[in-house]
């Protein structure tokens, strides 16, 4: 298919996203194609490593292609979205538990669905243009594609800050937050990929990695840990409002644009994921409980309308303020019974 180039080159299974004009946005067909490729390569002795990259300078993958989700949901078809998310999350889980090295090279924007394919592998590379974010609360979703696990594992309360604000992380921030492993100047990437294809040895990344630019997020880690410590959205608003810092004021301004229901659910999801022994499957199952309901009962359709369809930037969220009843959060995250997401370990 023209949106993705899948092939074997030497000892590498190569997956290249090839729709740079669309910032390599991830479509349903692209998800299915990636899954088939990694399934085929799992037991293929010729493939030692899997390499994920993308054409263009602006983006590795700027997110999932939400236009079709919006259109089908607007027409009352909620099953397409549920199938899309279920299949996408199955791919995310397979990448996370893949038995061979999965190496991603993430230039420019990597957001939403791009995080799902780029940030769960074993070797995650960023460069000087990399900007990674989970901006879902701005369109009435929650951080998904396994993003809640990454956020829950970030230092201190950085996961709450990144999940609620959708802040874009530069390369130093990405390594600080744990979304990537290596900083390598982007001019070196073609040669590294050629070497990976030749010898199938991911340890060349250890030799190529250099010191990333300073992390601005690391500088505010202590303040983030204080401001985002409360467990409910309403308490977060009080803490931010009481602070006289410029950072708190900027954070509050960003949060007031986003869906209160999505933010309240995000806080609850991260809190639940900090228990012992929590892994990828519980994170994805919890995310699916929200997304499976998001078209019918969440703010997603209105969020996409305001941000992408009409572009008026004036969403009418279900909750006018941040006092989101706990019952509403519990309803969005309640088990789905027979419709629960069904994933297998390392599958």
Residues identified as active-site: 64, 113, 136, 144
Q: What angle do CA 157, 162, 164 make, to 5 degrees?
A: 95
| Count of other CB atoms within 10 angstroms of residue 310 | 11
Are the CB atoms for 239 and 223 separated by under 8 Å? Answer: no
Q: Are strands 12-17 and 4-9 parallel, antiparallel or unpaired?
A: antiparallel
Phi-psi region at 65: left, alpha or beta (left = phi > 0; alpha = psi -120 to 50): beta
CA atoms within 13 A on the CB side of 80: 15
E-assigned strand segments in 123-251: 123-126, 131-133, 182-183
| Count of other CB atoms within 10 angstroms of residue 230 | 17
Q: How far is CA 345 from CA 10, 24, 111, 160, in A?
A: 29, 29, 25, 27
Are the CB atoms for 31 and 91 separated by under 8 Å? Answer: yes
Rounded Cα distance, 204 and 195, in Å: 8
Q: Which of 237, 110, 122, 223 is nearest to 174 (CA)?
A: 110
């Amino acid at each position: 298919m023209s949106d993705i180039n899948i092939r074997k080159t030497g000892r590498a299974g190569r997956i290249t996203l090839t729709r740079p004009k669309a910032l390599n946005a991830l479509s349903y067909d692209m998800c299915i194609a990636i899954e088939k490729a990694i399934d085929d390569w799992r037991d293929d002795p010729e493939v030692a490593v899997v390499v994920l990259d993308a054409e263009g300078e602006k983006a590795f993958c700027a997110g999932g292609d939400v236009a079709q989700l919006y259109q089908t949901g607007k027409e009352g078809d909620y099953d397409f979205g549920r199938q899309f998310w279920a299949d996408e999350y199955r791919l995310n889980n397979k990448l996370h538990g893949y038995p061979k090295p999965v190496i991603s090279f993430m230039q420019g924007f990597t957001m939403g669905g791009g995080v799902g394919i780029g940030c769960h592998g074993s070797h995650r590379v960023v460069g000087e243009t990399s900007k990674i974010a989970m901006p879902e609360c701005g369109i009435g979703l929650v951080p998904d594609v396994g993003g809640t696990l990454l956020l829950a594992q970030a230092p201190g309360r950085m996961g709450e800050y990144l999940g609620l604000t959708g802040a874009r992380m530069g390369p130093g921030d990405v390594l600080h937050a744990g979304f990537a492993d290596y900083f390598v100047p982007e001019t070196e990437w073609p040669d590294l990929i050629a070497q990976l294809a030749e010898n199938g040895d991911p340890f060349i990344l250890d030799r190529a990695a250099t010191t990333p630019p300073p992390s601005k997020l690391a500088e505010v880690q202590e303040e983030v840990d204080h401001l985002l410590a409360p467990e409910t959205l309403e308490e977060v608003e009080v803490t931010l409002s009481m602070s006289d810092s410029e950072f708190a004021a900027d954070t509050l301004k960003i949060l007031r644009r986003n869906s209160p229901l999505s933010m309240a659910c995000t806080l609850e999801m991260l809190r639940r994921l900090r228990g012992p022994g929590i892994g990828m499957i519980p994170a994805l199952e919890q995310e699916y409980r929200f997304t499976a309901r998001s078209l019918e009962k969440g703010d997603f359709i209105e969020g996409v309308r305001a941000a992408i369809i009409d572009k008026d930037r004036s969403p009418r969220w279900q909750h006018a303020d941040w006092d989101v009843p706990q019952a509403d959060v519990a309803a969005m995250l309640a088990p789905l019974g027979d419709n629960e997401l069904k994933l297998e370990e390392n599958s």
